[in-house]
Chain A
Amino acid sequence: MLDITVAIASGKGGTGKTTVSSNLALAASRAGCEVYYVDCDVEEPNGHLFLKPRITGARHIHVPVPAVDEEKCTHCGLCSEICQYSAIVCLEKTILTFDKMCHGCGGCAYVCPAGAISERGRDIGVLEEGHSGPIGFVHGRLTIGEAMSPPLIKAVLAAGKKDVLRIIDSPPGTSCPVITSIKSADYVILVTEPTPFGINDLGLAIDMVRELGIPFSVVVNRSEAGNHLAGDYCRERGVGILAEIPDDRRVAEAYSVGELVFDTLPDFRGYFTDLLISLGKEAKR
């Protein structure tokens, strides 16, 4: 049985990452695979709206930030110098810290000759684990207003079984949260739509995945007869298309009420079982 980690990503948002991830999870589970669904889009997780998991465990995730003992501080300024994010500022008579700027590297505490800096945890969000029938489930919810998601994404990725088919629902885009989500995957599926915006952002996503050196292919969602935008672009760049899911109002209607099309639209089942088979073939290469 398939026991790889596959990340579902896209350059553009709203192309169908969660539709592909959640329906692929269900298709694989029905086919007898042990599946673990990992929703890494911690800024706006939505996989739970479709898989409706029973949450059995939750815990807060913290990032280390500096705590300065002003009594010990000699105001030498080494901490300010090493900090690349302006999270700690040493002035003549006082020292200031900016928790939200801190990336938690520990550099300030490391260089402090007076031992005045220790680390304390700052809560950035919640990790919730559970299961949707036989499908294992984990996601993170980043606290609103919080700018730094990678530490929470890393905690989400560390959760759950590893020797099963892990389906990672990635955030959109090509920046740090996406790279954190997909860099440990065995395979990446880039979901796109055949629109100028979709193709432009697909191009950026292809550049990103090639840079990371992860094998990948494309799924074209909301595909229309006679629209060759995605097909032509992928051919031009030498990228394979793993599946094309047709544009259909019923898919949008199912999505709007949190239904999985694999369950509610029997004529769509084939697209996801075929995708699973194609993925299995890719994994063997």
Chain B
Amino acid sequence: MKTVVTAQGQYLDSLVDLRFGRCSWFIVADTKTGRFKAVSNEKNYESSQGAGIQAANNVTRLGAQSVITGHCGPKAFRVLQAAGIKVYSGGGGTVAEMLDRFKKGDLKETETADVEGHWA
């Protein structure tokens, strides 16, 4: 099962990026095999609008079933929900720590967007 963690760097010991749409990296982790890869979110990072929507769209393309991040706004949440991807916001610490907690079932699924949108 693939899980995406938003991160400030490309490694498992990188800190979780609290922003979803404008995070620096997506760490795509396979919780079964323990393998992971880092995907840059640079293009969204610099976009003037719609970063959350695009990031959510990219996460669906990465084939993830869940996302672990700090905060998730309403538009990104709508896309993730429509794609059937589970959202776990309120993350912090390192990517490895979050994945560990996720595997233990320690994270609670987010039911709605937890921050306001930035644009209208």
Residue numbers of A with Cβ under 8 A of B are 80, 85-87, 89, 91-92, 94, 96, 98, 100-101, 145-147
Could you jot down 7 A-B contacts, CB within 8 Å?
A: A86-B47, A89-B56, A89-B57, A92-B60, A100-B120, A101-B75, A146-B120
C-alpha gap A201/B47 in the complex (Å): 25
Cβ-defined contact, A91 with B119, below 8 A: no
In the complex, what residue of chain A is closest to B60 when comparing beta carbons?
A: A91
Alpha-carbon distance A227/B5, docked complex (angstroms): 57
Looking at B49, B78, B83, which has the most chain A CB atoms within 10 Å of its CB? B49
Report B-chain residues with C-beta under 8 Å of the C-beta of A145: 120
- Knowing A86-B50, A86-B53, A92-B60, the reply to whether A100 touches B119 (Cβ < 8 A) is yes
Q: Which residues of A contact B78 (CB under 8 A)?
A: 96
Tell me the nearest residue of chain A to B55, going by C-beta.
A86
Proximity string of chain B (68-86) to chain A, C-beta cutoff 8 Å, 1 when within and 0 when not: 0000000100110011000
Is B41's beta carbon under 8 Å from chain A? no
Residues from chain A with Cβ under 8 Å of B119 in the complex: 100-101, 147
By Cβ-Cβ distance, the 5 closest A-B pairs, closest first, are A86-B50, A86-B53, A147-B120, A100-B120, A91-B83
- B6 at the binding interface (Cβ < 8 Å): no
Other A-B pairs, 18, CB within 8 Å; known A87-B50, A96-B78, A100-B120: A85-B49, A86-B47, A86-B53, A89-B56, A89-B79, A91-B60, A91-B79, A91-B82, A91-B83, A92-B60, A92-B83, A96-B79, A96-B82, A100-B119, A101-B53, A101-B120, A146-B120, A147-B119
Q: Determine how close the nearest CB of chain B comes to the CB of A147; give it in whole angstroms.
A: 4
Say how far A90's CB is from chain B's closest CB, in angstroms.
8
Which residues of the partner chain A approach B47 to less than 8 Å between Cβ atoms? 86
B53 CB contact (under 8 Å) in A89, A94, A146, A147: A89
Nearest to A100 among chain B residues (CB) is B120
A89 to B82, CA, bound (A): 10
In the assembly, what is the distance between CA of A128 and CA of B119, in Å? Answer: 27
- Chain A CB within 8 A of B24 CB: no
Q: How far is the CA of A91 from the CA of B82 in the complex (A)?
A: 8
A96: chain B residues at CB < 8 Å are: 78-79, 82
Q: Please tell me the size bucket of the interface on B.
A: 10 to 19
B3 within 8 A of partner (CB): no
A80–B57 touching, CB < 8 Å: yes
Complex Cα distance, B22 from A81, in Å, reads: 19
Q: What residues of B have a CB within 8 angstroms of the CB of A80 in the complex?
A: 57
Give chain A nearest CB distance to B50 CB in angstroms.
3
Measured CB to CB, the closest approach of chain B to A185, in angstroms, equals: 27
Which residues of chain A come closer than 8 Å to B83, judged between CB atoms?
91-92
Q: Kindly list chain B residues whose C-beta atoms are within 8 Å of the C-beta of A85.
A: 49-50
Decide if B54 is an interface residue (CB 8 Å cutoff): yes
CA distance A22 to B12 in the complex (A): 63
Cα separation A91 to B47 with both chains bound (whole Å): 21
User: CA of A89 to CA of B79 in the docked complex: distance in angstroms?
Assistant: 8
How far does the alpha carbon of A222 sit from the alpha carbon of B29 in the complex, in Å?
Answer: 62
| Cα A147 to Cα B54 with chains together (Å) | 19
Shortest CB-to-CB span from B111 to chain A, Å, is 19
User: Nearest chain B CB to A101's CB is how many angstroms away?
Assistant: 6
Cα A85 to Cα B119 in complex, Å, equals 11
- Closest Cβ of chain A to B35, distance in Å, is 24
**Which residue of chain A has its CB nearest to the CB of B117?**
A100
Q: Check B120–A86 contact: CB distance below 8 A.
A: no
Docked-complex contact A86 and B49, CB < 8 angstroms: yes
- B52-109, CB < 8 A from A: 53-54, 56-57, 60, 75, 78-79, 82-83
Find the B residue at minimum CB distance from A86: B50
Contacts of A92 in B (CB 8 A): 60, 83
Contacts of B79 in A (CB 8 A): 89, 91, 96
